[in-house]
């Protein structure tokens, strides 16, 4: 933790320490713009602006830490005030994240996962498997993962119905989709089923949406992406953005700062998810987001 962050952390959490320990909660969640709670559109779901992502290189970056160090990292983020955690069925991390969160009050954090919309699979059985793997009774947010074609809305109708059924049973609280490529993104505005849209976002189009779903750099497509973000927000959807560090390509601190400011000030997203592998990266992301909101 940087000296500034540690000093502020101690100052803001000292008074709350006794009450937290009496309540049996982990001590010293820091208050900042990054860890403030925001509401995802009309869904009513409340999350911290910064989410802990566990899908770097499909989660292999996080998994390489091993369970013990990964758990320490998750608990560090939690103690710093990050209370929004993201995984996906196709990542290697759902079970690790479930283990890392074990013992924390379930109503003190939000858990988002993403389901692969395979053909010939019973959605309810898939959701039950995911719940067991993640060691949770419900998902706060479930996204249809990696929608990347122009016809994804029609092609995933069975999965959309499955999510609605799970919402009725309260094993899923909020629904949405993550998209890759402009053909898929263009189907989000006007979509009545969606409550949350997960959209790739950074200031120069690195690994961002373009004419196809390929993971290319598409700086010329940034204005269209921004327009769609504004459209879905006007229609009441919550917007979560990813690729804030260009899928790891932003090695310069200044680029990571620019990406965070762009997401919140130019695009106007509600929150962002960033994959972490060290406490230093968590500290930096919090500082960058606080600076972006200043």
Crossing angle of helices 123-134 and 157-168, in 10° steps, is: 60
Residue 118 phi, psi dihedral angles, 5° rounding: -70, 150
User: Over the stretch 81-114, which tens digit does the pLDDT of each residue have?
Assistant: 999 999 999 999 999 999 999 999 999 999 999 9
User: Over the stretch 224-280, which tens digit does the pLDDT of each residue have?
Assistant: 999 999 999 999 999 999 988 777 788 899 999 999 999 999 999 999 999 999 999
User: Over the stretch 193-230, which tens digit does the pLDDT of each residue have?
Assistant: 999 999 998 899 988 898 998 888 899 999 999 999 99
Which ranges of the chain would DSSP assign to H, the alpha helix? 3-23, 60-63, 66-79, 94-101, 123-134, 152-155, 157-168, 182-185, 222-234, 253-261, 279-293
Which domains does the chain show, CATH number per domain?
A: 1-28 (no CATH), 32-293 (3.20.20.100)
Tell me the pTM: 0.89
User: Over the stretch 181-193, which tens digit does the pLDDT of each residue have?
Assistant: 999 999 999 999 9
Query: What SS3 state is found at 156?
Result: coil
CB atoms within 10 A of CB 223: 9
Q: Which residues of 18-27 are buried (b: 16+ CB within 10 A; e: fewer)?
A: eeeeeeebee
Crossing angle of helices 66-79 and 279-293, in 10° steps, is: 30
What dihedral do alpha carbons 51, 101, 163, 179 form, nearest 10°? 30
Contact 271, 112 (CB under 8 A): no
């Amino acid at each position: 933790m940087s000296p500034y962050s540690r000093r502020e952390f101690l100052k803001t959490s000292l008074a709350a320490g006794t009450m937290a320990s009496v309540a049996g909660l982990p001590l010293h969640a820091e208050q900042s713009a990054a860890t403030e709670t925001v509401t995802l559109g009309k869904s009513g779901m409340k999350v911290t602006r910064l989410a802990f992502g566990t899908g770097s290189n499909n989660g292999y970056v996080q998994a390489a830490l091993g369970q013990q160090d990964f758990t320490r990292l998750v608990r560090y983020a939690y103690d710093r005030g990050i209370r929004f955690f993201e995984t996906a069925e196709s990542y290697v991390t759902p079970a690790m994240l479930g283990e890392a969160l074990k013992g924390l009050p379930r109503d003190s954090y939000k858990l988002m996962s993403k389901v692969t919309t395979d053909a010939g699979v019973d959605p309810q059985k898939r959701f039950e498997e995911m719940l067991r793997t993640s060691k949770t009774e419900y998902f706060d947010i479930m996204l249809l993962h990696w929608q990347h074609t122009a016809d994804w809305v029609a092609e995933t109708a069975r999965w959309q119905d499955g999510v609605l059924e799970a919402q009725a049973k309260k094993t899923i609280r909020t629904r949405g989709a993550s998209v890759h490529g402009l053909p898929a993104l263009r189907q989000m505005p006007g979509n009545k089923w969606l409550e949350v849209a997960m959209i790739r976002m950074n200031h120069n189009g690195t690994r961002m949406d373009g004419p196809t779903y390929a993971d290319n750099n598409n700086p010329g497509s940034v204005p269209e992406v921004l327009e769609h973000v504004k459209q879905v927000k006007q229609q009441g959807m919550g917007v979560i953005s990813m690729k804030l560090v260009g899928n790891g390509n932003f090695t310069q601190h200044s680029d990571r700062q620019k990406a965070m400011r762009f997401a919140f000030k130019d695009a106007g997203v509600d929150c962002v998810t960033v994959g972490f592998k060290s406490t230093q990266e968590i500290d930096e992301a919090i500082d960058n987001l606080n600076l972006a909101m200043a």
